[in-house]
Amino acid sequence: MTAGPRPGSGPTMDRQSTASRTDQNGAGERPRKDRQTVTPDGSRIQLLIDGVRLRSPVTQVDDRGTLCEIYDPGWGFTAEPLVYVYQTTVEPGQAKGWMLHRLQDDRLFFSSGRAKVVLFDDRDGSPTRGLINEHFFADQHRALLRIPAGVWHAVQNIGQTEVVFVNCPTRPYNHADPDKYRLPLDTPAIPYSF
């Protein structure tokens, strides 16, 4: 399975009749058939960037509220211990990124709000170099996402409420020498448009 066309490329469908739509050359636009995106059991079909892991937790609900486990070393999700934890928010319509870490992996748990997380693998020697992944999270689809060191990533709030996520990186934050590198969201170095 390969990644689909980059967002913003290719034809799109809306309520307007395709027969009345024309491209720049005056020819009618042809409808594009959807490709399979999930299996019959609801699992998403997507080739993951090498080293990326995704775990969807179970949210327990009772008459008092909900409980959702964020991280348990017993899951075997990662071998590194829990050494540092912090919470981040993203306001509606905003995005944070592009960012990259050279030494640490991020372990992000998306707990509330509607978020799109985009990953780009530009690591030399990676079997998935050049691959882009898009992941979507919401209150109804919480998840723990592992992003390996060397993978560019950005988080965009695509909802109407604040996105809240927790990071459990594999290394504590070094205030004197942060392991964080940035590019602007509109960089030509990453083949993705927000």
Q: What is the pLDDT along the chain (194 residues), one digit of tens a residue?
A: 444 444 433 333 333 333 434 445 556 789 999 989 888 988 888 899 999 999 999 899 999 999 999 998 889 999 999 999 999 999 999 999 999 999 999 999 999 999 999 999 999 999 999 999 999 999 999 999 999 999 999 999 999 999 999 999 999 999 999 999 999 999 999 999 99
β-strand pairing of 132-137 with 115-121: antiparallel
Phi and psi angles of residue 133, each rounded to the nearest 5 degrees, phi first:
-120, 140
Quickly name the fold that domain 36-182 has.
Answer: Jelly Rolls (2.60.120)
Whether residue 116 contacts residue 158, with contact meaning beta carbons closer than 8 Å, is answered with yes
**Angle at 88 (CA atoms; ends 131, 153), nearest 5 degrees:** 10
Q: Count CA within 13 A, CB hemisphere, residue 119.
A: 30
**Cα three-residue angle 28-12-151, rounded to 5 degrees:** 140
Q: What is the spatial order of strands in the sheet that 181-182 belongs to? A: 132-137, 115-121, 151-157, 95-100, 181-182
So where are the chain's domains?
Answer: 36-182
One-letter amino acid for residue 46 of the chain? Q
pTM of the predicted structure, to 2 decimals: 0.80
**CA gap 41, 78 in Å, rounded:** 25
